Every structure is written in structure tokens, then in C-alpha cells.
Structure 1
Amino acid sequence: MRTGCRRWGAAALLLFPVLASALNVGIVADRYDEAFAQDRAALVTEVKQLAPIPSKILFPETLQAEGGSDIARTAAAIERLQKDAKVDMIVLLGTLAGEVALSRGALQKPTVIPFAEGTGLRGIIPAGDGSGIRNVNYVLGHSTFGAALKRYREIVPFEQASQLVDARVLALFPELAARAAEQAKVQGVRLKVLPVAADGSYRVAEGSGAVLLGEMSGLAAAARTELMDGLRREKLPVFSLGAEPGVGSGVLADLFVPDERLRRLRRSALNIVAIAGGGAAERQPVAFEAQSVLRIDMAVARALQISPPFRILAQARLLHESAVEGKAMDLVTAAETALKQNLNVIAGKLGVREGEESIDEVRSVLLPQLSAELLYTQRNGDNVYVEGGFYAEKSTDGALKLQQILFSEKALARLAVQQSLQKGRVAQQRGLELEVVRQATTAFLQTHVATTLLDIRRENERLMQANLAMARQRVDAGMTDLSDVYQWESEIAVATQARLRAEADVARAYEQLNRILHRPITDRYALTEVTLEDPALVISDSGLLGRISNAVSFERLNAFYVAEAQKVSPDLDAVDAQLSAQRRQYRSDRQAYWSPDIALYGEVTHVFDETRTPGAAFSLEDETNWMAGVSLSLPLFEGGGRSARAARSSLGVRRLEADRLERLSALEQRVRGDLHTLRAAYPAIALAQSAAGSARKSYRLVRENYALGNRTLADLLVAQNAALSADFGAVNTRYRFLVDLMQLQYDGGRFDFFMNAEERRDFIARLRHALATPEAYPVKKETHE
């Protein structure tokens, strides 16, 4: 576009001297509203930038008129400026104003219409590059009615539709309805064109499968709201044929050009400068270089239960792609959700509770043991003791037995071991939670990378589509042959394949994140951008990043993080718990040689009923007896079992001590490795961003020169691929740094965003002290003898 600006600006510079005095431009607006003020300011700015002598083209506010969105008032305003001797040129900065002027045909003074929609349906056909209407220049929309209808029917294959058009436009162009119906009939669609009143009221033809909505910017805001509210109640897919209303207001799909309004104003500014330089208004270009993008509101599609084909979704820009509405997820929320919902974390917590029950079970041995017995006995009647009356032939008796261990080294040791092992389970659970948080944050960042790279792929594909259109224009102008067109078609096919793979990567990334967060696997939701300035990250503290480039302070930083990691490492805590349990077991095994088990026991028995031989000397029926005592037991010889157990426990202690030293060394190596990675990655972020910016500038320059015929397709393709690669590099470098930062926090045993305000202040204070003081945090070394 800027190439065109320079080309037309140069032409105007040659013609501009014909102006002997300043040229006054009058403006007619539909309404003096905010939109008009923005359009007027943008147009004036563009003209001043393009005009060789800006002071020669003036836009006096006294030469402005408002049509009030009324045909008669608008026509009168245009007529008044056409006859005003102080007005040299007219700009119609309103949709209705442009419609009124186009309905009149040739005009007395040069008139520029930036926003002309559906000129084909209005019977207005350009002549060559210009309008062919004396003293009239307009800027066409980016797509024709037939092309738009074809695109929309790929989303919903309707065969009958209603087209809603501003009633005032139908009054100006009564043949519009017949032309639209005729073009629709060519595609097999029965179309009924119906008016929309100034208050937004309308009706839809019975049996319509869709609604085509013409440009409605001429309606007041309240009327547009009333119109869209009514269309929602119709529960029909609505497709926009103009810029307003568009996707986001209840429309299912539209054809969108980025910055279209500004670009059309820029095209009009070029034409104004050319006309001011002596060019004929009817010969100035009516088209502007643009590549429209199909936009689909997936929230509307879901509400209407419409599922567009995959090939259409692959080409379109999707709004509200996720069915999950609400606040976007940020990094901290992802971590917190993982801790609450991850199934591994939940299972681990249940395992910790199981361990607590194991402790209670082991402790129960040291508490009183009370048991009850109920016994029924029957002996053979010819038993000598039964016949003699010593034993009852039949008896029913019960007993209560009590046992209390007074001292047992083995039982005490088992309890101490279980308590130590429980500390290990808690430490392992904390380690599991850290691992899940690392997985969640990494998956969150990787999903960000995937979605960003997909956006870059889509933008690259759109640029190639624009380059294809430019190549066709170059062929039409005789600047090149069809080989450029074929090459771009081939490149677009390759880019489309890459974009499809990128879409699959996004789906996989979301599904991985959803699995970790234990969310429905198909959920799609917005992700909040993560920056190095995020206050949830200690890295955002300005004092830290500055230290990474200093060798001495960097070594202090290493020592600080290693010392901090040693204090809170769940891995070390877990092995310490195992070591404590093993040492306690070893002490118990050594004491087994001389430490007896001492227990108190007692028993109460009662005979409820018995049958003895007649004439027995005594009967125990209804007798109650008791006994109590203390037992002391000490095994004297177990065939070497005690010495084997002691030796095994001793070896276990030594094994765990060696294991702890290894883990300590590995922890230091991991933390230091993480910091080395971050030190290299941090400056790479700025370098990658600089490389991406330079590559994009290079691409724009090469593209402009390609449009002028000064560079080849190969040059442009190399520049575009370099820009694409640089953009990928900038994204990957930044997110790779954040992933590495999450790894450092995982290895360090804590994540920044889980610190409360006091803990954070204390951590940063200790960090700054460590960076400023030599050997403030010496790394703890351990040896094993």
C-alpha cells in the first residue's frame, strides 16, 4: 500500500503546481458522531502526509454539513456544497451520503466517496480503474455480492434467504432487489430483499434459511441494537455484507479486512491529492489492495447448532473458539487448578492419609489390648475325667483378657520408623505436587507457544494470499509471467499444510493441559499472556535480572539458590526421613541383644453353665475367677538372626547416606545447570525480538520492491521465510526462558507464585543480601566416611 502511496504521491507532485491557491474540501456527514470525528481526523492526516504542499489542501469546518441520516437533508447538503463557490472538492464521509451521491450520477464538482458498498447491485459499474462517472470517485468494498454469497453458503448451504437492506438505500436504488435476487438465483438461492426501517424494525421472509445483512452503519446505534436483538430471536444464521454490523454483534460470519476503514480513507486521500493536482475524479482508482478474511463467531455457531466444515474453519479466523466462557486462565490459576484437581495429586494425598492410618495401627500395639471369648465345650461321656466328675460333659464359659505392653523396643522402633516414613510420604507428596505444578505450568506455556505459532502460520498464509493477488496484478500489468502465480500457489499449499499441523499442535497442547488440570479434554479457553514483568515471578524483581550478566554476582546467585534448594528440597527431605527410619531400626536391632519385652496381662473367666455326671463332688457353674501377671521375655539365641538383622540395618544406613550425598550433588548440579541455561536464555530474548523486527522490516521493503518489479519472487520468498523463522524464534526464545524458569523453581523446591507477600519480601531480601555479600550463602557440603 505504501508503494502505491509513493507512486501516486510522485504523480501528484508533478501536477500540484497547477494550483494557484488553496483548495477547499467540503465534507458531508450522515451524523456528527464519534465515528465521523475519527474518520475526518484520519482522512485529514493522510492527505497532509501525502500532499507535496499540505497547506494547499484545506478542510474548513465551516464547509461541513450533516445529513441527519435523512435522504432529503443529505441531498440538500450535497447540493448546497456543489453550488458553494468556496468549495472546490467534496468528500462524503457517510454511507448514506455516498448512496445519495451515487444515485444522482455525474456531479458538478469533484466528489470522493470513501465508503461505497455493493455498487454492482446498484447498477454502478467501474470503467477501467476509475468510476467512469464524471466528477465522482468512490472506493469499492473488498468483495462482491456473488463472491460473499458463495463463501457464506460453504458454511451453511441454505437455498432460501432474506437480504435486509436499509430502507433508504432501497428507495434510492429500487432495482437493487431484482439484481440481488438474480445473482442469487445463479447460485440456486431463492432470495427476498426486504427493507429495514430507520428504527431497526424489519421482517424476514417465511422459509428463509439465512439472513444476509447489508451495510447498516447509516442506522443509529439504538436502531442497530434493536435490529440485532430481533435477529437473535429469529434463530437464523446471519451473514454480514458490509462492515457494520460485523462478527461480535450476533452475526455468524463476515468478510473482514484488517484496518479496512483506514485503508479506504488512505486510498481516498491518495485520490484527493491526485485530483487536487489536476487529475480527473472519474479516472482515479476505485479499488484498494486488500485480502479479506472470513471470520466466524463460534459462540453464535454453537447457539444455532451449526458446525462449519473443517476446511472452512481452517481458512477462517475464529472468534469465541472455546465453548468455555468467563475469565481467561493465567499461569497462577493453572498451577492452583492442578494442585486441586490433578488425579495424581489427589491419589498422593490419599496415600499420605493411608500412612497416617498405618501409624495408628502400629501405635495400637503399645496400647491396652482387651479381648473377649465365649466358649462352648462338649466332651465324650465315657471320658474317665467326665465320669469322675472332674470335667464337665458340657460347659459354657466366657473370658475377658487384658494385655498391656510395658516396654518393647521392637514395638517402639516400629512406631518411630513409621513416623519417619510418614514424614517421607509427606515430602514425596510435596515433591509430587511440585512436579504436577511444573507439568501444568510447562503445558500452559507450551499451549501459549502453540497458539502463538498458529497465529504466525495463519498470518504467513494470509501474506502469501496477498502476494498471490499481487503476482496476478503484476501478470496483468505485464511485469512478469504466470510462473510467479504458480509459485505462490505452490507456496500457499505448503503453508496451508504447515498451518494444519500447527492447528493439530494446538489441539494436542490443550488436551495435554486439560489432562493435567483434570478438565474436560475438549475444553478450549483463553490463556493470559505471561511476561517477565509478571509480579507473580521473583524474576520480575529488577535487582535479579541485572545480576545474571555479572560473573561474581552470578556465582553468588548460584550459591544462594543451591542453599535455598537444599533447605526445602522434598527429595532430600524424603531421603532424610528414610535415613532417620533406618537409623532407628539399626539402633533397635543392636538393642535386641539385651532389651527384653515386658508386658502386663490379666484374665477374668466366668462359667455360665455346665453339665456334670450325677454325684460329682463339685460344680463350677456360675463361678468367676481371675488372674494377673507380668511377663518378661528375651530371646537368647536365634541362630544368628539378630546379628544378621543388625548388619543389614547398618548397611541400609550406609546405603542411604551415600544416596543422600548423591542426591545433594545432583540437586546442586541441576540448580546450577538451570541458572546457566537462564543466563544464556535471557539476553537471547532481546536478540530474537530484534532479529524478528529487522526481518519484518526487510520483508516489507522487499515486498514493496517486488510490487514495483525491482525484486524477484525468490527474493520475496526468502525474506518472508526469514521473517517467519525470526517470528518463530522470538516466540520460542521467550517461552523457552519461562519454561526454564519453571524448571529452576521446581528444582529449587518452591514456586514464586505460591509465596505470600511476607514470604516473598523475605525471599527477595535474602536474595539481595546474598548477591551483595561474599559467601553469604555457602553451599553446604557433606562427606561420607
Structure 2
Amino acid sequence: MLKIRWIIIFLTISISSIGQDTIYIGVINDRMIEESVLGSELQSQIEIEVEQLLQHRFNIAFNYYSLVQDGAIRPEQFDLAYANNDIVISNGTVSSDLASKRDSYPKPTIAGFILDAELQGLTKTNNGTSGVSNFAYLESPYDLKRDIDLLYRLSPFKHLVIASPPNALTDDIFIDALFSKFLSDKDVEIENVRYGSDITSWVAGHDNEQHAVYVLPYLGNDPNYIKSLFDLLNNTYKIPTVALLGEEYLQAGALAGYEIDKNFRKIPRRLAISILKILEGTNPSELSVEMETFGETLLINMATARSIGIYPDFDLMGDAKLLNLVKEDGVGTISIQQVIAEALNNNLELKIEKTDIDISDTEINIAKSDLWPQLDVTSSLSQVDETTALTYQGAQGRTNWFVTGGLSQVIFSEPALANITIQKLLKESEEQDLMQVQMDIIVDVANAYMNILLAKNNLDIQSQNVDRNKENYDIAKAKEAIGYTGASDINRWTAELANANIELNNAYANLRQAKFLLNQLLNRPVDQPFDTEDITLEQSMLLIADRRSQFIDNYGELEKFADFLVDFSKTRLPSLEKIDLGLRVEERLQKSRKRALYLPSVGMQGNANRLLGKYYLPSGIPSIETGTTWNLSVAASIPIFQGNRRTNLIQQSKLSILQLQDTRKNVENQLELRIRSNMEVVGASFSRMELSNTAAEASRKNYEIVRDAYSSGQANITTLIDAQNNALATQLAANNAVYNFVLDFLILERSIGFFNFLATPEQRDDFFIQVRDYITNN
């Protein structure tokens, strides 16, 4: 400890002796600055921050060194830096890694880019410092493990490629150790591939099965390189990517990442502050190595998701900022998953609910404020008559200026503590409300999307019906031309064609209205053009119902499936969780009311008064100066008798708890009724869908037979129109049957709190296994 003090004194004397002489700061970059766009930006930011912070106290000059030259690492650059500078900082992963491995530090040294202190052999004292004389480092503000976990969640991979610049670290062993540490619980191969020819050749030689790429910063000076790399990964090989540099790389084509600008910009500022403290006499060994980071927003590039066919799950979409949801030309196609993602991001009702949560946060802070000191100051100017002024004997005049200050502090207050806990529980309750609204929005948006598919199919059917009427009108005209039929058939087909066109126009209007509704739910301009994904109602049915349709094809399976869903829903539904939170609120309130019978409220209060000015003293009375008067007290209070109010409050809480318990049972019963009723509806819809398809196919064949008969004169117009109308009606009914089945299934999923088509593959497999095990064992 004595040695450190002498070092500090020596540094202080040395720096003081410099006075206004120039302070030389050596910046060791990983490579030539003209070869690195990112390095150049960081270097400029370091210069700006240091000069802004120190320019009025010190003359600052920078010297720059490149650790990597001609493809080789040159450690002697540190010796040059120490020989010609007062302070040395490393501006890169290579230089920071080498700096951390030195045996001694002749000059104050800061390693600015330490990716993993533990793996790089660095320790941290209990005070959060390096403990090494003349050496400080900055812990990484980036959460690489979080990025890797995100990438694995988006697409579970077996082979992870780390895309990194040449000589990004001292060797590949470090990268392998670093990312192996993050993936220690998974069976994953890790390969470090350098930018340039290495990564291009690697991509060309591998297929995309269960591969993923984590993209570290590109340090080269080709502005188009990263975009071309993502174009290759996305469009040709369909490989998912997560980028360390967040939005910049997402705009170039990465699938996901986090906004890191705030934390990235903290590094130059932190280096500047550390340099200032060193110049003021602080040994670098006493500088904190910890970096406070801001919360970072998850970003997901939906354009890339569409391109590679990998979409985030429901939870990720709810938490993320979604980029490129709609193509720039405004007429792109969108899938049902994209629609739901956009709704979760933009829907006004959801934004209102999220604001309620923010309001709950303020309620918590307001509750906490009761435990903080309360300070108030009052200034007053008073006027008294001369007789009263005489009684003050010179201590006050006829006009007096007073200042009074009051301070109070709660030492212990059970109601205040209970209020904080209750407000936190109420916030959780608001979060459950948000989940309910999210589920409702999913059903509404999915219903609106399916309604567009239904309207498109209906439009196609009505268009086919117009074509049929035109065809039959032509047949009637041909028959009239040879005298086989009269004008009555022509007139009838003219009327039928007009009616068919009316229905076609109505179908088109219905489609536009359906799109308007979806735009409204997505908080878009109502008339914004778009198109749905090229998917049929039948394909959407398979997407939503998935393998579970096998559990509803007979009443025996249907009943067992309903039993499983009743049990499954009880652990997932926000409505039940909200009641449970209400119970916890009442239980905490009851506990507080019971404690009020024997726990006092303890507080401290103080006041100070001072006469700042007295004017117009009575004549002949000498002025007497008075000082500040003050008082300080600590008080404890406990109600003794309040007309049985406290006892009644406790009884009220007990009744409220019993009421909530009964409410929970009632809600459980209602939920079971809803699930079982919805299951019956789904079962009926499923059978109706198959029967409707059978009827539509039979009616189509019948129409074709009758039409041929009419054409050959073996059937009259009434029979053909009846067959045609029947074919139209059954085709529309089959179309509606699929739509109703999908909607019924969505409502069923809402009633159990689980949307299969938004779940991850692992969640879907787990659900299917649970169902199969339940049905097998019951």
C-alpha cells in the first residue's frame, strides 16, 4: 500500500511539473487506420472526447501506432509508444489483448477493448479495479453471450461460424474458447472464418443445413463488402445471422442484433475520463474497469426473415423492434406471422396497454417517494402595527422577511412499505392485462388476415361463376342461332350474368374492406396497398391446426384432447394469473392492516427559522440581532382506538380474499366451459369442412354433366341454372367451412393461451408430445 502511495505521489509531482507542457497520448490501433472504417471512427471519437474534456487544462497531442502491419502482429509498437508518450491506450481487440498480457507497464496504460477478462487472464479487485500498477482496462460493453443465445433461439444450429476480420484477435484459439464458453451446454461446432477470400470460400463450400453465422465488426474500408456478404448468406444460402453492431448491419441484411450505439459511444468518453483522472494523479490500478451499459433494443430484420424463411417466435416479436415489415414500394406480400408481428409492434390498443404499464412504474416510484426525505422552504414577508413591533424590543421591525425550512424523513412506516409491494403487484397485473390484449390482438389480426384470404377465394369463385354464365350465355346464343331455343334463354342468361357481376363486385368490395380492416388493426394508413402471401385457405389451415387435427377426427380423441387442454390452460392464462396477483395484493394488504395493530409509524421532523431582514424599527428602539432557531424531533405514532376501523378493515380483507378465491374457481369453471364448448365447435367445423368439400366436388361434377346435357339439348335452362347455383353455393360453403374452422381453432387457442403457429419448433414438439402422452395414458 505504501508503495502505491509513493507511485501516486510520483505521478502527481511528474504531471504537476509538466504544467502546460504538451501531454502525449499514444493510441495503438489494431491496424493501419486507413484500412479500417470502424477504427477510424473510434479514433476520431477518442480525439474529440479527450480534447473536449481536457483542452482547457492541458495541451494534448496524439501519436498513433498500428499493431498489425503487412499481415503480422508487431508487439514492438508498444515499446515505441512507451518511449514517446505519457499515456498509452489500446484501440482494438488485438492491442488490448497484448496490453493485458504484459509483465510491466512503464507508462499509464489503458486496454480499451477487453472481450472476456476471465479468458484473457485478467482479475478484478473487490473495488472493481485492475489492481495492477499503471494498468487499467475496460470490460466489454457488448453481451456476446446474449447475441449467441438469440441466434440459437432464432434457429438452433449445429455449426456456428464466427465471421471476423483478419487478426481480429491474437489467435483463433481465443475465439474458440470464448464462444465455446457461451455454448458449453450445446452440441455445437465452432469455426472462425476471416472476412475476404476465407469466408467467401467457406460459404461456397458448405450447405445451409443447421448453420448460423455470428458477424463481428468488419474492419476493412470496402463500404459494400458487408452488404454483399449478407446478400450471399440470405439470398443464396439462407443462413441466419446475428450481428454485433446491431442496426448498421441489420440495414445491410443481418437477421437480428441489438441497438448498441449508446454503449458503443460510451467507450471513447470513458477513455477520456480515465485519462483525466490519470493526469489528476490517480494510478490506473485504481480506475474502475466496469462499464455501465444502457438497455439495448432487440432488432429483427423482417425482410431477411422473409428471405431466408426463418421467423422469430411470438415472445421475440413482442419484445423486438421489427425492421422492414413492409417493402418500400408499399405493395409487398406479407405472411400471417409478419402481420401478427407488425400488430404487436404498432397496434394502438397494445400501445395503450403498454402505457398503462409505464404508468404503473410511475406509481411504484411515487410509492417509494414516501420513504425519501421531504424538504420544503417557505419565504414570507409580514407587516405588523407599531404597537406590536414595540413588543419585539428591536428583534423585529414593522416589516419582516422570514425564511422557514422544514425537513421530514420516514424511518419506518408499514403502510408505506406495503404500498410499494402492492404497486409492484399491480404492475404485474397490468402486464397480465397486456398479455390478454396481445392474445386478443393475435386472434383479431389472424381473423382479419384469414378474412382477406377468404375474400380473395370468394372473389375467385365469383369470377369463375361469371365465366360460367358467359359460357352458358354463349351456348344459348349458339342454340338460338340454329333455332333450337328462343329469346327467353338469352334473356335469362343475361339476367344471370348481371347478377353474377353484381356478386363479383361485392366480392371485390369485401376484399378491399377486409384489407382496410387489417390496415386499421396494424395502425397503418387504412388505404395502404399490400398483398397477402401466396397461400390458400387450406394451407393456412394446415399451418394453424398442424398435427393436432388428428386429435379431433373422432369424439373419443376429441374428449381426451379437451381434458388435456383444460389442464394445460390453467398454467398459461393471464386471466387466472391476474386473479392470483389480486389475491397477493389483498393478502399483503391484510398483513399490513394486522401489523397496524402493534407496529408504530416512526419519523423524524425538523424545522429551522431565520429572520433575513427587518425594516422600519420603532423609533428609539435599538436593533437586536437574532440567530437561526431550529428544532429536531423523532416521533412514533400508533392509533389506539379508531372506532373498530382497523378490525373492520382486516375483516374486509378476509372477505375480499374469500371473494377472489371464489372468483378464481368461477373463472376456472368458465374457462373449462369455454374450452370444451370451443372444442365441440372445432370438431363440428372439422367435420363440416370435409363434408363441404365433398358436396362442392359432387356439385361441380353435377354441373359439368348438366351443362353438357344443356349444350346438347337434353336439359333445360332451369335445370342448368339450378345446378350452377348449387355448385356456386357449395363452393362458397366449402370456402367458408375452411375459414370457420381456422377461426374456431384460433379461438380455441386463445382460450388455452397457446398459439401453435407462433411457437418455436421445440415448443410445438413439446406440446405434441404432452398431448400424445396424455391421450395414451388416459
CA 1:708–1:553: 2 relative to 1, 3 Å: closer
* Residue number among 331, 334, 337 corresponding to 2:342 in the alignment: 337
The structural deviation recorded for 1:537 is 4.2
Residue 366 of structure 2 corresponds to 361
Is residue 468–residue 488 contact of structure 1 (8 Å, CA) maintained in 2?
yes
Is residue 406–residue 607 contact of structure 2 (8 Å, CA) maintained in 1?
yes
CA 1:534–1:696: 2 relative to 1, 3 Å: closer
CA distance in 2, matches of 1:547, 1:556: 8
CA 1:535–1:730: 2 relative to 1, 3 Å: closer
Is residue 455–residue 507 contact of structure 2 (8 Å, CA) maintained in 1?
yes
1:405 aligns with 2:414: no
Residue 502 of structure 1 corresponds to 507
CA 1:395–1:701: 2 relative to 1, 3 Å: same
1:380 aligns with 2:366: no
1:603-662 Cα deviation digits (max 9, x unpaired): 3444433355577688344x2344322111122333444344334333333332222222
1:497-525 Cα deviation digits (max 9, x unpaired): 32233233223222222211112212342
1:540 aligns with 2:534: no
* Residue number among 548, 558, 583 corresponding to 1:579 in the alignment: 583
CA distance in 2, matches of 1:728, 1:362: 59
Residue 719 of structure 1 corresponds to 723
* Residue number among 427, 431, 434 corresponding to 1:429 in the alignment: 434
CA distance in 2, matches of 1:504, 1:533: 24
1:480 aligns with 2:517: no
The structural deviation recorded for 1:323 is 12
CA distance in 2, matches of 1:616, 1:594: 56
Is residue 395–residue 609 contact of structure 1 (8 Å, CA) maintained in 2?
yes
Q: Number of aligned pairs? A: 450
Is residue 390–residue 616 contact of structure 1 (8 Å, CA) maintained in 2?
no
Which aligned pairs between 1:197-596 and structure 2 lie closer than 5 A? 325-383=330-388, 386-389=391-394, 391-528=396-533, 529-530=535-536, 537=543, 539-541=545-547, 544-596=548-600
Give the alignment's TM-score, normalised by structure 2.
0.54
CA 1:467–1:553: 2 relative to 1, 3 Å: closer
CA distance in 1, matches of 2:701, 2:624: 114
Secondary structure at the counterpart of residue 486 of structure 2: coil
CA distance in 2, matches of 1:572, 1:721: 49
Is residue 533–residue 540 contact of structure 1 (8 Å, CA) maintained in 2?
no
Coordinate RMSD, CA, aligned:
2.7
In the alignment, residue 555 of structure 1 is paired with which amino acid?
E
* Residue number among 705, 708, 720 corresponding to 1:704 in the alignment: 708
The structural deviation recorded for 1:356 is 0.9
Secondary structure at the counterpart of residue 703 of structure 1: helix
The structural deviation recorded for 1:570 is 1.4
Is residue 324–residue 524 contact of structure 1 (8 Å, CA) maintained in 2?
no
Is residue 324–residue 523 contact of structure 1 (8 Å, CA) maintained in 2?
no
In the alignment, residue 429 of structure 2 is paired with which amino acid?
G
* Residue number among 678, 694, 700 corresponding to 2:698 in the alignment: 694
Secondary structure at the counterpart of residue 567 of structure 1: coil
CA distance in 1, matches of 2:541, 2:479: 52
Please say which of residues 362-371 and 502-511 is displaced more in the overlay: 502-511
Residue 597 of structure 1 corresponds to 601
Is residue 468–residue 485 contact of structure 1 (8 Å, CA) maintained in 2?
yes
CA 1:749–1:693: 2 relative to 1, 3 Å: same
In the alignment, residue 351 of structure 2 is paired with which amino acid?
I
CA 1:707–1:533: 2 relative to 1, 3 Å: closer
Is residue 594–residue 650 contact of structure 2 (8 Å, CA) maintained in 1?
yes
Secondary structure at the counterpart of residue 334 of structure 2: coil
In the alignment, residue 467 of structure 1 is paired with which amino acid?
N
Residue 135 of structure 2 corresponds to none
Is residue 675–residue 744 contact of structure 1 (8 Å, CA) maintained in 2?
yes
CA distance in 1, matches of 2:356, 2:413: 28
CA distance in 1, matches of 2:503, 2:435: 41
The structural deviation recorded for 1:682 is 1.9
In the alignment, residue 350 of structure 2 is paired with which amino acid?
V
CA distance in 2, matches of 1:673, 1:587: 40
CA distance in 2, matches of 1:370, 1:323: 55
The structural deviation recorded for 1:585 is 2.2
The structural deviation recorded for 1:333 is 1.3
Secondary structure at the counterpart of residue 578 of structure 1: helix
Is residue 377–residue 404 contact of structure 2 (8 Å, CA) maintained in 1?
yes
Is residue 389–residue 618 contact of structure 2 (8 Å, CA) maintained in 1?
no
CA distance in 1, matches of 2:749, 2:339: 16
The structural deviation recorded for 1:350 is 1.2
CA 1:442–1:706: 2 relative to 1, 3 Å: same
1:683 aligns with 2:687: yes
CA distance in 1, matches of 2:454, 2:541: 21
The structural deviation recorded for 1:390 is 5.6
CA 1:565–1:530: 2 relative to 1, 3 Å: farther
The structural deviation recorded for 1:359 is 1.1
1:743 aligns with 2:767: no
CA distance in 2, matches of 1:582, 1:570: 18
CA distance in 2, matches of 1:508, 1:326: 17
Which aligned pairs between 1:8-47 and structure 2 lie closer than 5 A? none
Is residue 389–residue 396 contact of structure 2 (8 Å, CA) maintained in 1?
no
In the alignment, residue 578 of structure 2 is paired with which amino acid?
A
Is residue 331–residue 529 contact of structure 2 (8 Å, CA) maintained in 1?
no
In the alignment, residue 685 of structure 1 is paired with which amino acid?
M
1:271-324 Cα deviation digits (max 9, x unpaired): xxxxxxxxxxxxxxxxxxxxxxxxxxxxxxxxxxxxxxxxxxxxxxxxxxx996
CA distance in 1, matches of 2:544, 2:683: 15
CA distance in 2, matches of 1:363, 1:429: 24
In the alignment, residue 364 of structure 2 is paired with which amino acid?
I
The structural deviation recorded for 1:601 is 2.1
Please say which of residues 590-599 and 479-488 is displaced more in the overlay: 590-599
Q: Which has the larger radius of gyration?
A: 1
The structural deviation recorded for 1:405 is 1.2
Is residue 452–residue 515 contact of structure 2 (8 Å, CA) maintained in 1?
yes
Is residue 395–residue 625 contact of structure 2 (8 Å, CA) maintained in 1?
no
Is residue 537–residue 739 contact of structure 2 (8 Å, CA) maintained in 1?
no
1:72-131 Cα deviation digits (max 9, x unpaired): xxxxxxxxxxxxxxxxxxxxxxxxxxxxxxxxxxxxxxxxxxxxxxxxxxxxxxxxxxxx
The structural deviation recorded for 1:740 is 0.9
CA 1:532–1:460: 2 relative to 1, 3 Å: closer
Gaps of 5+ in 1: 1-321, 775-785
Which aligned pairs between 1:666-681 and structure 2 lie closer than 5 A? 666-681=670-685
* Residue number among 633, 638, 652 corresponding to 1:634 in the alignment: 638
The structural deviation recorded for 1:335 is 1.1
The structural deviation recorded for 1:594 is 3.0
